[in-house]
Amino acid sequence: MLRTHTCGELSKVDAGQEVVLCGWIDSVRVSGKIGFLDIRDRYGKTQVFLNKELAANAGSLHNEDFVMIKGLVKARPENQVKGTGTLEIELSASNLEVLNASETPLPIEISEDTTTHIDKRLDNRFLDIRREKIRSIFAVRSRIYSETVAFFIKSGFVNIQTPKVTASGVESGAEEFKFDYFGKPAALAQSPQVYKQMMIAGGFDRVFELGTVFRAENSHTRRHLTEFTGLDFEMGCIESESDVMDMIEKYFTHLIAGIKEKCNGELSLLGAELADVKEGSIPRLAMSEVKAWIKEARGKELSVEDDLDSEAETILGELVKEKYGADFVFVTNYPYAVRPFYHMKPEGKADETKSFDLLFRGVEIATGAQREHRLEKLEAQCAEKGIDLSKMTFYRDIFRFGCPPHGGVGMGLDRITSRLLNLDNVREAILLPRDPDRLTP
pLDDT tens by residue, 193-213: 999 999 999 999 999 999 999
Alpha carbons 385 and 381: distance in angstroms, whole number:
6
pLDDT of residue 279: 87
The rounded distance, in Å, linking the Cα atoms of 58 and 56 is 6
Position 76 confidence tier, pLDDT thresholds 50, 70, 90: low
Angle at 336 between CA 332 and CA 339, to 5 degrees: 80
- The pLDDT of residue 3 is above 80: yes
299 vs 130, higher pLDDT: 130
Split at pLDDT 50, 70, 90, the class of 4 is very high
- Average pLDDT (374-391) is 92
Predicted pLDDT at 84: 43
Please indicate, yes or no, whether the overall pTM of this predicted structure exceeds 0.95.
no
Cβ partners under 8 Å of residue 194, min gap 6: 166, 170, 171, 394, 395, 398
Q: Do 273 and 267 touch, CB atoms closer than 8 A?
A: yes
So what's the pLDDT on residue 300?
76
**Mean pLDDT calculated for residue range 159-167:** 95
Query: Percent of the chain, pLDDT > 90?
Result: 83
CB 345 within 8 A of CB 373: no
CA distances for 61 relative to 65, 69, 94, 291, 434, angstroms: 7, 13, 16, 62, 36
Residue 302: band (very low, low, confident or very high) from pLDDT cuts 50, 70, 90:
confident
**Distance, CA of 17 to CA of 5 (rounded, Å):** 11
User: For residues 271 and 119, what is the distance between their CA atoms, to the nearest angstrom?
Assistant: 23
**Is the four-CA dihedral 387, 389, 392, 397 of positive or negative sign?**
positive
Q: Compute CA distances 157 → 84, 101, 138, 189, 375, whole Å.
A: 45, 49, 25, 22, 26
Across-strand partners of 440? none
pLDDT at 169: 66
DSSP letter, residue 428: G
% of the chain with per-residue pLDDT over 70 = 96
pLDDT of residue 241: 98
Report which of 96, 123, 126, 127 is spatially closest to residue 111, judged by C-alpha positions: 127
> For 266-295, how does the pLDDT look when each residue is reduced to its tens digit (9 = 90+)?
999 999 999 999 989 999 999 999 999 888
Query: For residue 401, is pLDDT > 70?
Result: yes
Mean pLDDT across 36-43: 95
Task: Please tell me which of 1-5, 207-211, 303-307 the model is most confident about, judged by mean pLDDT.
Answer: 207-211
Q: Residue 270: what are its φ and ψ, rounded to 5°? A: -85, -5
Tell me the average pLDDT of the chain: 93
140, pLDDT greater than 90: yes
Beta carbons within 10 angstroms of residue 204's beta carbon: 15
What integer pLDDT is reported at residue 83 of this predicted model? Answer: 43
For residues 146 and 248, give the distance between their C-alpha atoms in angstroms, rounded to a whole number: 16
Task: For residues 19 and 208, give the distance between their C-alpha atoms in angstroms, rounded to a whole number.
Answer: 45
Give the model's pLDDT for residue 175: 84
Confidence of residue 106 (pLDDT cuts 50, 70, 90): very high
In the structure, what pLDDT confidence band is assigned to residue 307 with cuts at 50, 70 and 90? Answer: confident
Residue 48 amino acid letter: V
In the sheet where 184-188 sits, what is the strand order?
A: 165-167, 184-188, 178-181
For 217-336, where are the alpha helices, taking DSSP H only? 241-262, 264-270, 287-298, 310-324
Rounded to an integer, the average pLDDT of 356-375 is: 97
Asked whether the predicted pLDDT for residue 240 surpasses 70, the reply is: yes
Domains of the chain: 7-100 (2.40.50.140), 132-429 (3.30.930.10)
Q: Are strands 158-159 and 66-76 parallel, antiparallel or unpaired?
A: unpaired
Phi and psi at 321, nearest 5°, equal -65, -40
Buried b (16+ CB within 10 A) or exposed e, 43-78: eebbbbbbeeebbeebeebebbbbbbbbbbbbeeee
DSSP class of residue 340?
-
> Would you call 110 helix, strand, or coil by DSSP?
coil
DSSP structure string for 175-211: G--EEEETTEEEEE-S-SHHHHHHHHHTT--EEEEEE
Q: What average pLDDT score do residues 101-128 get?
A: 95
Adjacent-strand bridge partners of 20:
70
